[in-house]
Structure 1
Amino acid sequence: MTGPEPAPLDVSPARPSVWRNLSFVWLVPILALALSLGLAWRSLADRGELIEITFANASGVTPGETELKYRDVVVGTVETVTFTDDLEKVLVRARVDKKVAPYLDTDTEFWVVRPQVTTRGVSGLSTVLSGVYIEGSWDKEVVGEPLVQFAGRDNPPLVLPGREGTRITLVATDGSLITEGAPVFFHGIEVGRLERPRLTVSSDAIVVDAFIQAPHDRRLNSATRFWDTSGFNVSISGAGLSVDFDSLSSLLAGGIAFDNVFEGGKPVSPGHVFSVYEDEASAKKSLLEEPKGAVVEVAAEFGETLSGLEPGADVRYGGIRVGQVTSIVAVVDDTSDGPGVRLMANLAIEPERLGLPAGSGPRETLDFLESATGRGLRARLATKNLFSAALIVELAEVPDAAQATFRRDATPLPVLPSVKSDLPDFTATAEGVLERINALPIEELLDQAIRTLGSIEAIATAEGTKAAPDAVVALLDDTRALVNDEATKALPGELRAAIADLRAVVSELREGGAVASLNETAASAREAAGSVAKATEGLPDLAARLEELVTRAGRLISAYGDRSDFNDETLAALREVRNAARSVSQLARAIERNPNSILMGR
């Protein structure tokens, strides 16, 4: 008996392992692939953000070459340069460092750096060799989500983001006073810059933003005034002609200066609006001319031409500005002789400048004007200054003014009485000057000048004048020869020897007592001279008597005949007596003048 047969076994061959056939040789390419993938991923992760910047033009910007810099450090590279969809702008795509990307917010600005020559100097010279690049500027704070689209600037910003200071607004009526990039000075030191000027909505003024750097921005307050420093000012005063300008840079490029015109100004907030004045004098004068409170309008009627008076002209009282002219109108009146025209100037008066209390209204102002009119207050025209034809309205108290009233109830405005102005007649003055010029003896002066020139020419061409230089040269030669002569050179030695001999003689005389003897002799001579002087005091009388005797004898002898011998002899004797008397008189005068002459001789 056989047992059951075993069941057949299902035997399958063993599946070979994948790793069994894997050789170590394959590890090299696998590792290389993994390394490549890792490097690729790292490169993609580190290449940064792609941003878009639009410019008006992209002159010099090259894809793959133009760099994006921040503080002269490369932080990115331009990848593509193309146009926007509407072809209005140039679209530049640049890849920036991922460390920088989070800081790109609304304050970020980009501009292309190129060589540029402006009134402020030369910039961008480094790009001549390295090529243009894009400069970026942003602050150090991360605010909100980073941006990837930006509008580039055509020019570098005057104030970089993050710079400490205060931004204010300046307003000027004349655009020539403001230029973009002009410096702002405080006491001659540059403390800020002006940005691009722009027109107001009504186009009646120029507005420009200015940035004042810290810590100088703390000087800004309600007492601050700005003025233009471009150009120069020429003024004539009692001290003479003076030319004033702020600095050479402001003279060439323009500029704005500011200062505080009074103490105790209140602080101002960023964005405060300041006016720009023509010069420093106008800025300081504005303290007296700025409106104070409400104004009261009145009118002044003039019976003369108002040529030169314009709206905005000053109204002055006692030399102080108290208002301004608002308009000039002509009023037509119907009279029996036909229509008549009256010229009137409307005035805006500031009550506080008239000396009225603060808060005074129209009633108090009109009461003051009515009372002042009774005391002789009148409106009259006056010139603004000596060298200007512009007119102003002056409120002056005229003592001998004709009786007039203040028409308080006149319409549309109360009317101030006026008097005729004493403006100079420039036409008559000019005619007078021309007449005086015509009356000048021009021809006679020219003839005299011609004769004078002829005389000068004759003197210059004379032989003596021509020979004068030769004579001077000869004189100099003779002088030089005299100085160089041996005898002249020996004179100092001879003089020294003579002085030495004289000193020796004086010394001997002093030692021998000669000086004392001379003093005694001089004293004796002085006494003798005194005696002689006393003796000769009677000589003048004696001479007078002899003269009288001769005269009498002459009259006596004349009785004996002119031709007798007695007469001739007597006349001869008289002549001798007269000569003797004259000699005695001369001797007396000589002794009187010099009594010592009797002893010492003449």
Structure 2
Amino acid sequence: MASPPDLPDPDALPEAVVAPQARWRPQLIWLIPLIAVLIGVGLAVQSVLERGPTITISFRTGEGLEAGKTKLKFKDVDIGLIRSVTLSPDQKNVIASAEISKSAERLLVADSRFWVVRPRISGGTVSGLGTLLGGSFVAMDVGSATAKRRDYVGLETPPVFGSDVPGRQFVLKSEDVGSLDVGSPVFFRRLQVGQIAAYELDPDGNGVTLKVFVNAPYDKYVNEDTRFWQASGVDVSIDAAGIKLETQSVVAILVGGLAFQSLPASAGLPPAPANAQFKLFHTRLESMVRQERIVETYVFNFTKSSVRGLSVGAPVDFHGIVVGEVAAINTRFDPVKKEFSIPVEVHFYPERFTGRYASGQKGGPIARNKKAMLDTMVERGFRAQLRSGNLLTGQLYIALDFFPNAPKAAVDWSKAPAEIPTVPGGLQPLQESVEALLAKLNKLPIEGMGHDMQQTIRDAHTLLNRLDAEVIPQARGTLAAAREALDSANLAMQPDSAIQENAGDVMRELSRTAAAFRNLADYLERHPEALIRGKSDEGK
């Protein structure tokens, strides 16, 4: 059995010595999270520094808006993102919060505009077709203001032109919008030079205000005397001048539009300023009518003529020259005469009536002494008369002319406006004559005349019967005898008849007798004494 090993002596063990604590040394492995933290902090700081402003845009509906997906674009470049879409406190609008990139912050000025781009058809143009695949987005147009802004009201329809498009905008006043729409074309000499930007009803409800944009360089042709008119579709007008048909182009027929043109006399005028206001006429003919500086109002009171076919705007004509137009047609009752009349109010243009004289001076006697001149003209038979301007349509116009045989009358200056006397229309005297003739015919004893006529016819019939029974047989015998006499005369006149032969002998004898008388006359001319002495032997 082996003996156990020797145990060490406890006293022989070495004494423990306390060593000092060593210092902590960084390990390389810890550099990786440290660098990651530093990078994260840097990115966070950079993100904060590069984060753009947040704006709010108010829209009527949230159609096409999605938080976190719908982008904001300027000239098809992403400049922001819709972060949230909420309802407004009054629940009438939608508030979209958008985060704009730092680089686009300078675009957020007071007159910048935002709208949702979606497929649209307006004014004959189609836009936003690209959103059918890529989805809707919010487009932006930068204004020209310098003031900054963070809350905007979005447009329901996209603007027709951008703020950076060269050209000018003009304001048009019209009674109605017709077939025009936003985006409808604007024509100049049948070239499309602009579009309708917007329109709205006037606050008083009596008209419509349109804004049109004319692209450069065509905007320079718009001056203070330019005329705008609706060129939508096909304009057909029927008036005292006849039937007129006018159109601007095929595009205008399909989608409508308007056109403008300046009068030849205004070619040298400077271009009109931006937002200048003009009147929008219904037709080109109406727009090209010269705008008169002097307009006087008179009344033509028609008492025996019908004004059916006379309309407001009908011309007032003097020897083929339009010197005014009908402004209003009314009725009036005279309590003294117990009869109605038709007072027609007209606008009279004295400058057209007087015109220019050979010396080149404007105006004339009416301009200098209107009342005296007009009184003199009325005294000489100056009257107003209704006449037919178109037999097909029945349109009437008022003609001013001199009627020397017209009853005496004078201008009533005591009324406002003054009244100029009238005469019945061209067909009115004929109608009165026909009515008078019919009245006389009605007074005739037609029934008694009919009985007398019947008795006369019976007497004539009896006379004809007597003629047929008594006179005609005798007339037949007389005619037969006359025919026999004519036949006998015809036989006697034949060349081989005895009468013809005897007539030939007689003519020969007469010729010989005439020759003898001729010889005797010649002899007596030579020997006139033979009448006393007789024929001498010498003459034998």
Name the TM tier (shorter chain). 0.5 to 0.7
Percentage of identical aligned residues: 28
Higher mean C-alpha deviation, range 39-48 or range 385-394? 385-394
Partner of 1:162: 164
Deviation at 1:233, TM superposition (A): 4.7
1:300 and 1:347 in contact (8 A); partners too? no
> Which structure has the higher relative contact order (CA within 8 Å, separation 6+)?
2
Deviations 1:410-453 (A, max 9, x none): 4344321211112599x9xxxxxxxxxxxxxxxxxxxxxxxxxx
Using the alignment, how far apart are the partners of 2:331 and 2:131 within structure 1? 66
What's the counterpart of residue 354 of structure 1?
A: 353
8 Å CA contact retained: 1:64, 1:78: yes
TM-score (norm 2): 0.67
* Match of residue 538 from structure 1: none
Question: Which residues of 2 match residues 51-66 of structure 1 at below 5 A?
Answer: 51-66=55-70
> 1:511-556, CA deviations, whole angstroms, 9 ceiling, x for partnerless residues?
xxxxxxxxxxxxxxxxxxxxxxxxxxxxxxxxxxxxxxxxxxxxxx
Paired residue type of 1:103: L
Distance 1:374 1:339, change over 3 A: closer
User: 1:578 matched to which residue of 2?
Assistant: none
Cα distance in 2 for partners of 1:216, 1:372 equals: 50
Deviation per CA, 1:64-101, whole angstroms, max 9, x where unpaired? Answer: 11111111111111111111111111111111111111
Cα deviations across residues 183-234 of structure 1 (Å, max 9, x unaligned)?
A: 0011222111112322223323222011111111100113322222222256
Distance 1:203 1:359 in 2: 42
Q: What is the match of residue 228 of structure 1? A: 230
Moved over 6 A (4+): 359-363
Matches within 5 A, 1:325-364: 325-335=326-336, 339-355=338-354, 357-358=362-363, 364=369
Unpaired segments of 5 or more residues in structure 1?
1-14, 428-602
- For residues 263-274 of structure 1, the aligned pairs below 5 Å read 263-265=265-267, 266-267=269-270, 268-274=272-278
**One-letter code of the match for 1:327?**
A
- Three-state SS of the structure 1 residue aligned to 2:169 is strand
Note the 1:121-520 alignment, pairs <5 A: 121-139=125-143, 143-144=146-147, 146-233=148-235, 245-265=247-267, 266-267=269-270, 268-284=272-288, 286-287=289-290, 290-335=291-336, 339-355=338-354, 357-358=362-363, 364-398=369-403, 400-423=404-427
Number of residue pairs matched by the alignment: 400
Alpha carbons 1:296, 1:351 under 8 Å: kept: no
Shift of 1:22: 4.9
> CA RMSD, aligned part only?
3.1
Residue 385 to residue 80, structure 1, CA distance change in 2 (3 Å): same
TM-score of the superposition, structure 1-length normalised?
0.61
Structure 2: unaligned runs, 5 residues or longer: 1-19, 356-361, 432-540
Contact residue 313 and residue 391 of structure 1 kept, 8 A = yes
Alignment partner of 1:86 is 2:85: no
Aligned equivalents of 2:297 and 2:245: distance in 1? Answer: 40
Deviation at 1:391, TM superposition (A): 2.9
CA distance in structure 2 between the aligned counterparts of 1:334 and 1:315, rounded to whole angstroms: 30
User: Do the aligned residues in 2 keep the contact of 1:293 with 1:359 (CA within 8 Å)?
Assistant: no
The CA distance in 2 between the partners of 1:414 and 1:77, in whole Å, is 72
Secondary structure of 1:195's aligned partner: strand
Counterpart Cα distance in 2 of 1:296 and 1:371: 19
**Secondary structure, in 3 states, of the residue corresponding to 2:372?**
helix
Contact 2:300 2:422 in 1 (8 A): no
Does the 8 Å CA contact 2:354/2:364 hold for their aligned counterparts? no
Write the deviation string for residues 300-356 of structure 1: whole angstroms up to 9, x where unpaired: 343222233344433222333322333334333344xx6233332233322222216
